[in-house]
Structure 1
Amino acid sequence: MHTNDPRPGFAQRMTKEEINTCPIRRWEGAVHVVRTAAEVSQAVRALAEESLLGFDTETRPAYSKGECYLPSLLQLAGESAVYLFQLKHLGLPGPLREILADPKMIKAGVSLAYDLQELHKLARFEPAGFVDLGTLAKEAEIKNHGLRGLAAVLLGFRIAKGAQTTNWARDVLAPAQIQYAATDAWVGRELYLRLRQEGGNSSR
């Protein structure tokens, strides 16, 4: 389909240097940090109106051998707002598991198998409606499969990485962490929409 496509990322993998020439963009809309049962109910009601969500998780980084942490944050991006669920305070409550198990609600992200495996350590659920952007990228014959590479290839911008290795388990997230986490989820949603255009009717 795109074998002779001359665009960077299609003809050959877009390099880190090429990605770094792209302008930085961030999610600039509403962000809701959710840490109480009442806030979960409110968020889930709003998310129930959506048919497509950008999906991501963040975990506190581990620097020593044998050190590991449960996921700290679950991000879901709708059309006009991003919701950041602080799992440290919430666990993985039933209403949130229902969204993750809803086959009619598409959840788009990268490296989903690992994220879902980690979320299962908090509570069991049957994941449904998940679409891995890396798989869609391969089907569209794009050589970059990660979130940052795909954002550069398909959306023409790059995502700042400054907050990536910060402590996601802190009680109150810093503004830079909130913006980073919201941006990652928003980009997942935008990439799904763009990959649908690239793939035509060849994939869902």
Structure 2
Amino acid sequence: MFRPKISKEDLSELPNIAFGGEIVVVDNYKQQSVVANYMSNYKIFGFDTESRAVFKKGVKNSISLLQLSAGDKVFLFRLNKIHLSRKIVSFLQSPNILKIGVAVRDDIKELQGVSDFIPHGFVDLQTIVKEWGIFDMSLQKITAIVLKGRLSKAQRLSNWNAINLTPAQLVYGATDAWICCQIYNKLLKVPKISLEEQEAIKKMLFEKEQKEKLISDKHPERKKYIRRVEENKKIK
């Protein structure tokens, strides 16, 4: 059974984890055809997207990168340079091909801004991890809980529209897609917990959160809480 949540302190002590296989940058249509043929041999993919960071309120950049992992390779489609081919769009629409990601609804919406398609076969780790008793929702924390490794997020706000992506960007983009597949495959090897167990964990986490709030120096009910604790000690 997995731990339901992980603290920042515990997370910081874990070893770094990153993709070490082949990274293929796809920035022309000829490449897309070759990649699509390779991808046809697989039924489960890691999935992610990246957009150039914007630091102005209310302004949002269009999607820059689509990352798909398959086997020991990760393909990075530079959507600021190319449109997706029909074969890749068909891939995104296929209910028979699983695309594993985190917060996939947002990614799909971004992709639909550059290619019109009806999504099928997408699996959101944020939705399914509760079936294994996990209640942290970020990819970094899910990775820590399931794979006991720490993802670097240093490149998240970098320029994904740059003429050439840096080696650090390539590894970051590849890792985020690849790690989703690794998490999914690991989860499938572990039995799910019951709905009753899920509810019990949720209740435990809620009570713990409320207690932590009460003992916080800034909480208005702190004095009452401390007084109750002291009274209970006297009774015992």
Same topology, TM > 0.5: yes
Matched residue, 2:188: 196
Q: C-alpha separation between the residues in 2 aligned to 1:118 and 1:171? A: 21
Residue 140 (structure 1) aligned with residue 132 (structure 2): yes
**Correspondence for 1:179 among 166, 171, 185:** 171
Residue 131 (structure 1) aligned with residue 110 (structure 2): no
Q: Which runs of 5+ in 2 are unaligned?
A: 195-236
Q: C-alpha separation between the residues in 2 aligned to 1:153 and 1:200? A: 15
Matched residue, 1:58: 50
Tell me how far 1:93 sits from its aligned partner.
2.6
Whichever residue aligns with residue 68 of structure 1, its letter is K
Indicate conservation of the 8 Å contact 1:139/1:199, yes or no.
no
- The C-alpha deviation readout for 1:144-202, integer Å capped at 9, x for no partner, is 12211111001010111111110111121111000000011110000111122234599
Matched residue, 2:28: 36
Indicate conservation of the 8 Å contact 2:103/2:124, yes or no.
yes
Indicate conservation of the 8 Å contact 1:14/1:143, yes or no.
no
Q: C-alpha separation between the residues in 1 aligned to 2:155 and 2:188? A: 29
Q: C-alpha separation between the residues in 2 aligned to 1:148 and 1:158? A: 7
Q: How many residues align?
A: 194
- Greater share of helix: 2
Structure ranking higher on relative contact order (CA contacts 8 Å, 6+ apart): 1
Question: Relative to structure 1, is the Cα distance of residues 145 and 38 closer, same or farther in structure 2, using a 3 angstrom cutoff?
Answer: same
TM-score by length of 2: 0.79
Q: C-alpha separation between the residues in 2 aligned to 1:144 and 1:201? A: 16
Cα RMSD over matched residues?
Answer: 1.5
- The C-alpha deviation readout for 1:101-129, integer Å capped at 9, x for no partner, is 11111100000001101111112101111
Residue 47 (structure 1) aligned with residue 39 (structure 2): yes
Q: C-alpha separation between the residues in 2 aligned to 1:92 and 1:38? A: 11
Residue 120 (structure 1) aligned with residue 112 (structure 2): yes
Residue 67 (structure 1) aligned with residue 56 (structure 2): no
Question: Relative to structure 1, is the Cα distance of residues 32 and 52 closer, same or farther in structure 2, using a 3 angstrom cutoff?
Answer: same
Matched residue, 1:16: 8
Question: Relative to structure 1, is the Cα distance of residues 35 and 111 closer, same or farther in structure 2, using a 3 angstrom cutoff?
Answer: same
- The C-alpha deviation readout for 1:29-51, integer Å capped at 9, x for no partner, is 00100000011111111111111
Indicate conservation of the 8 Å contact 1:100/1:128, yes or no.
yes
**Correspondence for 1:107 among 81, 99, 109:** 99
Larger mean CA deviation between 88-97 and 26-35 belongs to 88-97
Indicate conservation of the 8 Å contact 2:132/2:192, yes or no.
no
Whichever residue aligns with residue 60 of structure 1, its letter is R
Matched residue, 2:90: 98
Indicate conservation of the 8 Å contact 2:52/2:159, yes or no.
yes
**Correspondence for 2:81 among 89, 98, 123:** 89
